[in-house]
């Protein structure tokens, strides 16, 4: 096996480990693409491999960092003297003002080499992007770069000038990513790229754990709501079509058999009346699980035309209806949780979540929201802060509803540890582990009533 | 079909399509590996234009299958011309049924639809399957045979195999997730919004009358709008429209009034317009 082929199979293996499904046929195509493109131009190689190996735009976020590890820009650190912090900042400011991509990449390499090394040996034990950026502080260059750009263009009275700050911020953001890539590359040289490809590359948004997702990842998840909803809607429609083929309707079969002399040639199937189910959502929006609840609320809202009625309730230790806040067009996904907190009464005397009180309040005040056609979803980690879980209220809701499901964003292994009342609730209603957007999508497709 | 990536780039530019490196590379590979090209991306970034440009640069015939909900075999593959068959049967009264039967299921009575047309031709062909996501799942199954073996079976005539493989381009707006089987048979290309520099060149090419300074401002404002997380981010088509509008308005620099009056050209939702106006410090509309 040649070195290049080995590299390609390594790349494919790393991508598979991140959940990208690649068959042997695609690997062969990738090799043929490399043959056709040659190894001279790295960006072309990147595009060629992406075209042959990937099947969707979302996979690109995983592909690029893995590609950078397997087909690195270079080997070792930059030549020459290690630059000092001040000199680097000086040159970085100039490069940002000029928006020179090639120069920025070179500076990122120098910065990691000069500022990012930690450990004792002559070189360094490892390289840290965090440490590099912490020492370099590129974000503090904003004012200086702005002055530079204005000085260069002379004045700065044009309309587009007011966009300058944001543009510079985006350039700085791009530089931070370059530093991250560079640091990963250097570490991979030291520790082997398989390991870094597995651990150092952020998974795609739909595989990120809700409880540990950062702000950017949550924003990305929110953008993924609409496509996911469309996908689920198609799947639900397909399930409905299949479900519509019901049992034999004896009366109508016999009636139609009269035209064939009483021989039932063609069975007539019972037509199902398309009942559009009702949905009630109970969401814990306390700090620990709010990312999960937000996402699920938006997803259900995006699926609103699949149901005759959706009602959404939010709680921390008191419960309030927030259906109106999720209305179409009004819902600005970014500010959703802030608006829910501002406009609904969710807390009583204290600010931590209390499932017992909230569920009791639901059964008492909104009991009529649940009927024999209603499916109830409870979203939350079932951590009651040591208060009474109020199982009677859950039992009451479960008795009235058609189905009750509990989606828990914690890993199954942690249910029942500490103040979690998950096993108690799981004894009464069906509880599912739901840690990532991918799991949620699969669960919703399976559990939603047809 | 193409000799190199640069060759593709240059020849696409000749037809008026400025390709990013990713587009040029993938088109080159599609030609070289003989695989269909699946193009995804937001509306208005030039997915359909790409197919047209490829056809023009290769001097090929463009066959287009526009997909919609309910498009089926008889619209995509072929159909028998029933009316003509009936005429033929009633015209030839004195011949035996066997003769008639072999005659009415011959080429003469076949109405080829886009897929069959593209496969049967001898001249170079570009087959554009537009908005594949609009078609039903069943249609995808039909495409699988055509795209992997480039052959179509007509029961009465036999199997038609392509003598010359067409260059196939499928486009999709991701309105529906295409099946994994279909994706596997294609090279995947995502066309996003272009880099600033490329977009400047595109505007310069499409609206040559606009000055360089104004072109730059236009592209910068559009870039800022795209970063805003709007319901519908402005696409290249909107940028070009806006440039045309500014030209027609006779504006020579961008200022608050001009932007406020023409924001409707690039943003298509009222709440987007309000959001953008707030972010760009325009006075209340």
CA distance, residue B280 to nearest chain A CA (Å): 8
Q: What is the per-residue pLDDT across B51-79, written as a single tens digit (0 to 9) for each? A: 999 999 999 999 999 998 888 888 888 99
Identify each DSSP E strand in B20-93 by its residue range.
37-40, 61-66, 78-80
CB B168 within 8 A of CB B36: yes
The domain tally of chain A equals 4
Identify the sign of the CA torsion A343, A344, A348, A352: negative
Structure tokens at B47: 């997915």
Nearest-by-CA chain A residue for B173: A227
Task: Verify that A409 and A356 share a domain, yes or no.
Answer: yes
How much is the mean pLDDT over chain A?
Answer: 81
Contacts of B188 in chain A (CB under 8 A): 50-51, 54-56
In sequence order, what DSSP letters do the residues of A13-42 get, joined into one string? HHHHHTT----HHHHHHHHHHHHHH-SS-H
Task: Verify that A253 and A336 share a domain, yes or no.
Answer: no
CA distance, residue A268 to nearest chain B CA (Å): 25
Q: Evaluate if residue A374 carries a pLDDT over 70.
A: yes
- Which residues touch B176 (CB under 8 Å, ≥6 apart)? A230, A231, A234, B133, B134
Contacts of A26 in chain B (CB under 8 A): 184
Rounded to 5 degrees, φ, ψ at B121 are -65, 155
Task: Verify that A26 and A157 share a domain, yes or no.
Answer: no
Given this model, what pLDDT does residue B285 score? 43
Q: Which helix (H) or strand (E) holds A379?
A: strand A374-379
Task: Verify that A239 and A260 share a domain, yes or no.
Answer: no
Among candidate residues A410, A411, A404, the one with its CA nearest the CA of residue A430: A404
Contacts of A160 in chain B (CB under 8 A): 216-217, 220-221, 254
Pairing mode, strands B151-154 and B158-161: antiparallel
Cβ distance of B217 and A160 shorter than 8 Å = yes
Which pTM does this prediction carry?
0.76
Cα(B25)–Cα(A44) distance, rounded to whole angstroms? 6
- Residue range of the domain that includes A252: 246-274
Given this model, what pLDDT does residue A196 score? 76
Given this model, what pLDDT does residue B72 score? 85
Cα(A17)–Cα(A192) distance, rounded to whole angstroms? 16
> Is residue A295, in this structure, part of any structural domain at all?
yes
> Is residue A79, in this structure, part of any structural domain at all?
no
Least confident of A27-31, A121-125, B87-91: A121-125
Task: Verify that A162 and A236 share a domain, yes or no.
Answer: no
Across the range B199-224, mean pLDDT stands at 88
Q: Evaluate if residue B30 carries a pLDDT over 90.
A: yes
CB B63 within 8 A of CB B114: yes
Cβ distance of A44 and B271 shorter than 8 Å = no
Q: Evaluate if residue B25 carries a pLDDT over 90.
A: yes
- Which residues touch A52 (CB under 8 Å, ≥6 apart)? A26, A29, A30, A32, A33, B29, B33, B187
Q: What is the per-residue pLDDT across A11-45, written as a single tens digit (0 to 9) for each? A: 999 999 888 889 999 999 999 999 999 888 999 99
Task: Verify that A366 and A282 share a domain, yes or no.
Answer: yes
Least confident of A325-339, B3-17, B170-184: A325-339
Q: What ipTM was assigned to the predicted interfaces of this complex?
A: 0.88
In sequence order, what DSSP letters do the residues of A296-315 get, joined into one string? HHHHHHHTGGGSSEEEEEEE
Q: Evaluate if residue A392 carries a pLDDT over 50.
A: yes
Among candidate residues A278, A286, A285, A324, the one with its CA nearest the CA of residue A303: A278
Cα-Cα end-to-end distance for chain A: 52
Q: Evaluate if residue B284 carries a pLDDT over 50.
A: no
Residue A71 CA, distance from chain mean position: 27
**Residue B34 DSSP SS3:** coil
Nearest-by-CA chain B residue for A52: B187
Q: What is the per-residue pLDDT across A67-87, written as a single tens digit (0 to 9) for each? A: 988 988 877 777 766 777 888
Structure tokens at B237: 């088509």
Nearest-by-CA chain A residue for B223: A167
Cβ distance of A160 and B174 shorter than 8 Å = no
Q: Evaluate if residue B126 carries a pLDDT over 90.
A: yes
Q: Evaluate if residue A314 carries a pLDDT over 50.
A: yes
Supply the Cα-derived Rg of chain B in whole angstroms.
24
Task: Verify that A231 and A269 share a domain, yes or no.
Answer: no
Task: Verify that A298 and A372 share a domain, yes or no.
Answer: yes
Cα(A188)–Cα(A196) distance, rounded to whole angstroms? 6
Of B41, B192, B254, the CB nearest to A159: B254
Among candidate residues A191, A186, A177, the one with its CA nearest the CA of residue A113: A186
Cα(A409)–Cα(A292) distance, rounded to whole angstroms? 7
> Is residue A160, in this structure, part of any structural domain at all?
yes
Q: Evaluate if residue B39 carries a pLDDT over 80.
A: yes
DSSP H helices, A401-450, are: 422-428, 437-447
Chain A contact residues (CB < 8 Å to B): 21, 23, 25-26, 29, 32-33, 36-37, 41, 43-44, 47-48, 50-52, 54-57, 60, 158-160, 162-163, 166-167, 170, 219, 223, 227, 230-231, 234, 238, 329, 334
Least confident of A8-22, A67-81, A394-408, B206-220: A67-81
CA distance, residue B98 to nearest chain A CA (Å): 33
CB B9 within 8 A of CB B24: yes
In sequence order, what DSSP letters do the residues of B148-174 get, joined into one string? HH-EEEETTTEEEE-SS--EEEEEE-S
Q: Evaluate if residue A239 carries a pLDDT over 80.
A: no
Contacts of B271 in chain A (CB under 8 A): 329
Across the range A216-228, mean pLDDT stands at 74
CA distance, residue A217 to nearest chain B CA (Å): 14
CB B119 within 8 A of CB B162: yes
Task: Verify that A269 and A238 share a domain, yes or no.
Answer: no
Interface of B with A in 39-68 (CB under 8 A): 40-41
Task: Verify that A36 and A159 share a domain, yes or no.
Answer: no
Structure tokens at A77: 């650190």
Given this model, what pLDDT does residue B193 score? 92
How much is the mean pLDDT over chain B?
Answer: 87
Among candidate residues A380, A198, A213, A54, the one with its CA nearest the CA of residue B189: A54
pLDDT range class, residue A123, cuts 50, 70, 90: low
Of A44, A50, A55, the CB nearest to B183: A55
CB A25 within 8 A of CB A32: no
Among candidate residues B154, B152, B173, B155, the one with its CA nearest the CA of residue B163: B152
Cβ distance of B29 and A36 shorter than 8 Å = yes
Supply the Cα-derived Rg of chain A in whole angstroms.
28
Q: Evaluate if residue A221 carries a pLDDT over 80.
A: no
> Is residue A25, in this structure, part of any structural domain at all?
yes
Given this model, what pLDDT does residue A130 score? 84
Task: Verify that A353 and A378 share a domain, yes or no.
Answer: yes
Q: Evaluate if residue A222 carries a pLDDT over 80.
A: no
| Superfamily of domain B5-73+115-190, CATH level 4 | P-loop containing nucleotide triphosphate hydrolases (3.40.50.300)
**For the stretch B1-29, what's the b/e string if a residue is b when 16 or more beta carbons lie within 10 angstroms of its beta carbon?**
bbeebeebbebbbeeebbbebbbbbbbbb
Across the range A168-175, mean pLDDT stands at 88
Structure tokens at B90: 């009633």
> Is residue A190, in this structure, part of any structural domain at all?
yes
Given this model, what pLDDT does residue A80 score? 66
Least confident of A88-102, A241-255, B124-138: A241-255
Q: H helices then E strands: how many in chain A?
A: 19, 8
Q: Which residue has the higher pLDDT, B192 or A77?
A: B192
DSSP H helices, A99-163, are: 101-115, 129-136, 142-153
Cβ distance of A56 and B188 shorter than 8 Å = yes
Task: Verify that A336 and A425 share a domain, yes or no.
Answer: yes
């Amino acid at each position: 096996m040649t070195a290049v082929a080995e590299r390609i199979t390594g790349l494919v293996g790393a991508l598979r480990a991140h959940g990208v499904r690649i068959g042997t046929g695609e690997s062969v195509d990738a090799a043929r693409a490399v043959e056709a493109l040659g190894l001279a131009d790295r960006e072309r190689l990147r595009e060629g491999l992406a075209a042959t190996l990937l099947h969707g735009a979302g996979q690109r976020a995983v592909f690029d960092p893995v590609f950078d590890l397997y087909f690195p820009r270079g080997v070792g650190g930059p030549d020459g003297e290690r630059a000092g912090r001040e000199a680097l900042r000086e040159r970085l400011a100039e490069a940002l003002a000029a928006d020179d991509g090639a120069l920025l990449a070179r500076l990122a390499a120098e910065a990691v080499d000069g500022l990012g090394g930690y450990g004792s040996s002559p070189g360094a034990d490892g390289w840290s992007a965090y440490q590099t950026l912490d020492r370099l502080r590129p974000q503090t260059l904003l004012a200086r770069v702005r002055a530079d750009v204005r000085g260069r263009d002379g004045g700065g009275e044009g309309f587009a000038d007011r966009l300058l700050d944001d543009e510079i911020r985006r350039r700085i953001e791009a530089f931070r990513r370059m530093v991250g890539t560079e640091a990963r590359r250097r570490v991979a040289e030291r520790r082997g790229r398989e390991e870094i490809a597995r651990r150092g590359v952020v998974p795609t948004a739909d595989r990120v754990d809700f409880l540990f997702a950062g702000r950017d990842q949550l924003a990305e998840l929110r953008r993924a709501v609409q496509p996911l909803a469309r996908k689920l809607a198609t799947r639900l429609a397909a399930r409905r079509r299949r479900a519509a083929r019901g049992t034999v309707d004896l009366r109508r079969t016999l009636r139609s058999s009269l035209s064939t002399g009483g021989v039932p040639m063609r069975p007539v199937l019972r037509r199902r009346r398309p009942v559009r189910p009702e949905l009630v959502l109970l969401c814990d929006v306390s700090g620990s699980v709010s990312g999960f609840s937000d996402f699920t609320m938006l997803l259900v809202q995006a699926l609103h035309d699949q149901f005759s009625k959706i009602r959404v309730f939010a709680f921390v230790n008191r419960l309030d209806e927030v259906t109106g806040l999720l209305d179409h067009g009004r819902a600005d996904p970014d500010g959703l949780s802030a608006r829910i907190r501002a406009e609904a009464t969710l807390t009583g005397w204290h600010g931590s979540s209390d499932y017992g009180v909230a569920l009791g309040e639901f059964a008492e005040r909104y009991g009529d929201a649940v009927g024999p056609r209603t499916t109830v979803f409870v979203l939350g980690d079932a951590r009651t802060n040591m208060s009474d879980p109020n199982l009677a209220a859950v039992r009451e809701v479960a008795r009235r509803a058609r189905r009750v499901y509990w989606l828990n964003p914690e890993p199954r292994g942690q249910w029942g540890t500490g103040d979690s009342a998950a096993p108690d609730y799981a004894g009464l209603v069906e509880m599912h582990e739901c840690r990532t957007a991918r799991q949620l999508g699969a669960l919703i497709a399976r559990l939603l009533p047809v | 079909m193409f000799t190199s990536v640069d060759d593709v780039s240059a020849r696409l530019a000749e037809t008026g399509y400025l390709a990013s490196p990713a587009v040029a590379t993938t088109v080159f590979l599609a030609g070289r590996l003989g695989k269909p090209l699946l193009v995804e991306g937001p509306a208005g970034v030039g997915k359909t234009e790409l197919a047209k440009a490829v056809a023009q640069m290769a001097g090929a015939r463009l066959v287009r299958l526009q997909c919609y909900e309910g498009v089926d075999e008889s619209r995509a593959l072929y159909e028998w011309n029933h009316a003509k068959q009936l005429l033929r049967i009633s015209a030839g009264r004195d011949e035996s049924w066997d003769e008639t039967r072999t005659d009415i299921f011959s080429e003469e009575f076949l109405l080829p639809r886009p897929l069959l047309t593209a496969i049967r031709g001898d001249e170079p062909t570009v087959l554009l399957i537009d908005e594949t996501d609009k078609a039903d799942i069943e249609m995808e199954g039909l495409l699988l045979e055509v795209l992997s073996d480039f052959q179509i079976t007509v029961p009465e005539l036999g199997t038609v195999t392509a003598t010359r493989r067409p260059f196939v381009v499928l486009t999709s707006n991701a309105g529906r997730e295409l099946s994994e089987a279909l994706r596997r048979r294609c090279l995947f290309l995502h066309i996003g919004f272009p880099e600033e520099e490329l977009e400047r060149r595109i505007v310069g090419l499409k609206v040559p009358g606009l000055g360089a300074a104004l072109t730059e401002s236009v592209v910068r404002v559009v870039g800022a709008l795209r970063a805003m997380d709007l319901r519908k981010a402005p696409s290249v088509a909107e940028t070009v429209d806006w440039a045309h509008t500014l030209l027609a308005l006779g504006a020579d620099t961008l200022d608050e009034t001009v932007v406020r009056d023409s924001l409707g050209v690039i943003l298509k939702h009222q709440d987007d317009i309000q959001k953008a106006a707030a972010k760009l410090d325009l006075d209340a509309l």
